Amino acid sequence: MDLQIHGQANASLPAAYRQVLVSWSIQGGLNPPVITHAKGCHFHDTNGKAYLDMTSGYVAVPLGHGHPKVVRAIQQQAERLCWVASSYFNDVRAEYAELLNRISPWSEGLRVHFASGGGEANDDAVKIARLVTRRPKVLTAYRSYHGSTIGGSALTGVDRWRDPLPNLPGMVKFFTPYPYRSPFHTREPAEESRRALQHLEQVLSHEGAHNVAAIVLEPMTGSSGMVIYPEGYLQGVRALCDRHGILLVYDEVMTGFGRTGAAFAATRLGVLPDLMSFAKGASSSYTPLGGVLVREGVASHFDTELFDVGHTHAGHVLAVAGGVAALRVYLEEGLFERALEIEGWLREGLGELQRRHPVVGDVRGLGAHFGLELVKDRETREPLVEWHHPGGSAPMKLFYGELMKRGVHAYGRYNVAMVSPPFVITREELSQGLEAFDAALSVVEAAL
Ligand code: PLP
């Protein structure tokens, strides 16, 4: 996997370090830096080295690290109440629901169900859709990532989960538009949208639309390619859902809370779903908070039917207090708008990288959320590494390794490198990060 990080030698570490299984990595030979503390857009290791974080961790800390208002709010909440059963009412949960309604894309309002992370939230979104529609099937995109739980893995389209984990019954995949590498053999975005919608209509017809509870989509894909759907596509999906009584679920785990320059990608793109899963930026990952936002017209179903979903940590008060404090900071400091400003800086800076480096085939993104698609040849668009390359790939390891050497953290998948900095990054810090990208791209090109 490209997430595997090889840092400077830490061979003398106590054995306990290797008794922690490291996510998404072959454990043998791993040698990542040991991170001790972080502030703003930098985190620091035991060798005293600082890393500028160009992807907000896993696109998870839009506020950067150690924002004093959020830290203080969590400390104060910890002294008052950390946890209470989710069957009770609680003032912090209510405050969060009120704040969420302030940024809701739905004029009818919303209700919130809490989870601890994105995968769990997606599992719950599917459960809610099935409870509301009493239908079994769920459609998701081949090029998608929805989490590492059993449900999230089954929803996920990329192949990395398939070998050990068979799909779950009722989970059906379809192709979505990808203008740079069209699965529908088009060269024109409007045509790409049109054919992709025809394809989806055919899938619905073969699966029986009346059996389909939900279509689950990232409104723009995240780690599985940073693909932005062409104009008309999401509108078309919305229309198909309306025609067949299917609930449209957006996975806004990555795109929610300002990442695309608006509270939600739904707001930025102007096409509204019925449910949205969220996590990551909700609390800027200061506390493990996720959940599902349900528009009022759907949530009211449960006024007379059993809401048969829950977790011990659903609405964990300390976790939600982190969410309240983070959302207050986003609003008070105008950080969703800041992500729009960063979009301008990224278009300029990444555009320049594309001009300088033939290996950069495509640059695309919204807000503070961009991807660089790397290719061997710009004319043929042959990917720098294969999409389904098992176990990572030498050129991408070289790329991320060079960034690490230069004190810059970033990640991505396959041949798409992500650039999703914290919203608090300064223009100067961003330029420093992009200089490291420039150098790392040169190293990759020299090795080609
Ligand atoms: N959905 C999307 C779009 C994601 O990007 C991720 C994580 O990267 C998830 C779901 C899973 O979230 P978590 O890792 O919090 O379970």
Q: Are 249 and 125 in contact (CB under 8 A)?
A: yes
**Ligand 1 centroid to residue 254 C-alpha, Å:** 7
Q: Which of these, 23, 84, 88, 91, lies nearest to 58 by C-alpha position?
A: 23
**Ligand 1 centroid to residue 422 C-alpha, Å:** 17
415 and 282 co-located in one domain: no
- Ligand 1: does its nearest atom lie under 6 Å from the Cβ of 155? no
pLDDT of residue 2: 44
55 and 91 co-located in one domain: no
CA atoms in the 13 A half-sphere facing the CB of 418: 32
Residue 103 belongs to some domain of the structure: yes
77 and 61 co-located in one domain: no
Final residue in a domain of this structure, among 332, 352, 387: 332
- Ligand 1: does its nearest atom lie under 6 Å from the Cβ of 132? no
pLDDT of residue 160: 55
170 and 280 co-located in one domain: yes
314 and 419 co-located in one domain: no
Residue 1 belongs to some domain of the structure: no
DSSP calls for 131-198: HHH---EEEEESS----SSHHHHHH--SGGGTTTSPPPTTEEEE----GGG-TT--SSHHHHHHHHHH
142 and 278 co-located in one domain: yes
CATH of the domain at 51: 3.90.1150.10
94 and 203 co-located in one domain: yes
Nearest atom of ligand 1 to the alpha carbon of 116: 15
Residue 9 belongs to some domain of the structure: no
Residue 156 belongs to some domain of the structure: yes
237 and 262 co-located in one domain: yes
**Ligand 1 centroid to residue 220 C-alpha, Å:** 13
Residue 426 belongs to some domain of the structure: yes
Question: Which of 1-15, 96-110, 250-264, 316-330 has the lowest average pLDDT?
Answer: 1-15
Query: Burial level of 3, CB count in 10 A (0-12/13-18/19+)?
Result: middle
pLDDT of residue 311: 97
DSSP calls for 180-207: GG-TT--SSHHHHHHHHHHHHHHHHHHH
Residue 33 belongs to some domain of the structure: yes
pLDDT of residue 25: 85
Contacts of 232 (CB under 8 A, 6+ apart): 190, 193, 194, 197
Q: Residue 29, by phi and psi: left (phi above 0), alpha (psi -120 to 50) or beta?
A: left
Q: How far apart are the first and last CA of the chain?
A: 20
Q: How far apart are CA 109 and CA 99, in angstroms?
A: 11
Q: How far apart are CA 261 and CA 219, in angstroms?
A: 13
Percent of residues in the chain assigned helix, strand, coil, to nearest 5 = 40, 20, 40
Q: Are 315 and 100 in contact (CB under 8 A)?
A: no
Question: Which of 23-27, 45-49, 163-167, 251-255 has the lowest average pLDDT?
Answer: 163-167
pLDDT of residue 388: 65
Q: Which of 252, 254, 413 to mutate to test the pocket of ligand 1 (most atoms within 8 A of CB)?
A: 254
Q: Are 350 and 372 in contact (CB under 8 A)?
A: yes
pLDDT at 266 over 80: yes
Give the residue numbers spanning the domain of 271.
68-332
Mean pLDDT, residues 208-223: 97
CATH of the domain at 203: 3.40.640.10
- Ligand 1: does its nearest atom lie under 6 Å from the Cβ of 218? yes
Helix (H) or strand (E) holding 79: helix 68-80
Reduce the DSSP state of residue 343 to 3 states and report it.
helix
- Ligand 1: does its nearest atom lie under 6 Å from the Cβ of 200? no
Q: What is the mean pLDDT of the chain?
A: 94
Q: Pairing mode, if any, of strands 412-413 and 360-366?
A: unpaired
pLDDT of residue 5: 57
- Ligand 1: does its nearest atom lie under 6 Å from the Cβ of 58? yes
Question: Which of 112-121, 298-307, 347-356, 393-402 has the lowest average pLDDT?
Answer: 393-402
Final residue in a domain of this structure, among 300, 332, 364: 332
259 and 382 co-located in one domain: no
CA distances from 158 to 161, 314, 379, 446 (A): 7, 29, 26, 30
Residue 2 belongs to some domain of the structure: no
**Ligand 1 centroid to residue 163 C-alpha, Å:** 20
pLDDT of residue 171: 95
Mean pLDDT, residues 349-377: 98
Q: Are 153 and 168 in contact (CB under 8 A)?
A: no
Reduce the DSSP state of residue 46 to 3 states and report it.
coil
Structure tokens belonging to residue 80:
């008052």
Q: What is the Rg, in whole angstroms, of the alpha carbon atoms belonging to the chain?
A: 21
- Ligand 1: does its nearest atom lie under 6 Å from the Cβ of 151? no
Residue 369 belongs to some domain of the structure: yes
pLDDT at 275 over 60: yes
306 and 324 co-located in one domain: yes
Q: Are 419 and 437 in contact (CB under 8 A)?
A: yes
pLDDT of residue 161: 55
- Total number of domains constituting the chain: 2
pLDDT at 3 over 60: no
pLDDT single digits (tens) 142-195: 999 999 999 999 999 876 555 566 688 999 999 999 999 999 999 999 999 999
Final residue in a domain of this structure, among 317, 332, 347: 332
Helix (H) or strand (E) holding 417: strand 416-419
117 and 266 co-located in one domain: yes
216 and 96 co-located in one domain: yes
- Diameter over CA atoms, the chain: 65
Helix (H) or strand (E) holding 328: helix 317-332
Q: Are 385 and 376 in contact (CB under 8 A)?
A: no
Q: How far apart are CA 359 and CA 149, in angstroms?
A: 35
- For atom 13 of ligand 1, the residue with the nearest CA is 118
